[in-house]
Amino acid sequence: MMKKLITLCFFALSLLFSTQGMDAQNIKEINGFASEKAKEIRKVLKINNDQLEEVYQAYKEFQTNYVKLSDDLDGNQKQIEKLNTHLDTTLKNILNEEQFDKYLTIFRSED
């Protein structure tokens, strides 16, 4: 009986650690996505370092929330539209008018 209990405890602990690993993997992927998008925008829109950091944070927030909704993309369509609108509003506050217009033309026309 004690052997089964110990085995069960080890199994539960290994499950707990594997779940934490997936969370760390998600965070790494989110940060990678945000970094890639920020660098892409920097290259195309010629943003400065301050804007780069703010764009990175905006995409990090966007992707974090998107991942939470990604299990049911069809059922969460309205929330995803709100995320996109929030991202656009945030970027509009970061970029100047010319940069934002170019962002809409280049990056939003892909959607």
The per-residue pLDDT for 22 is 46
Alpha carbon separation from 77 to 31, 37, 48, 73, 82 (Å, rounded): 23, 22, 33, 6, 9
Domain boundaries, the chain: 27-108
Highest mean predicted confidence (pLDDT) among 17-26, 50-59, 69-78 = 50-59
pLDDT digits (tens, 9 = 90+) for 3-20: 665 665 555 555 555 444
Q: What is the pLDDT of residue 63?
A: 93
Mean pLDDT of 33-43: 94
Average pLDDT estimate for 37-42: 95
**Mean pLDDT, all residues of the chain:** 83
CA distance 5 to 7: 5
With residue 40 as reference, give the H or E element that holds it: helix 2-45
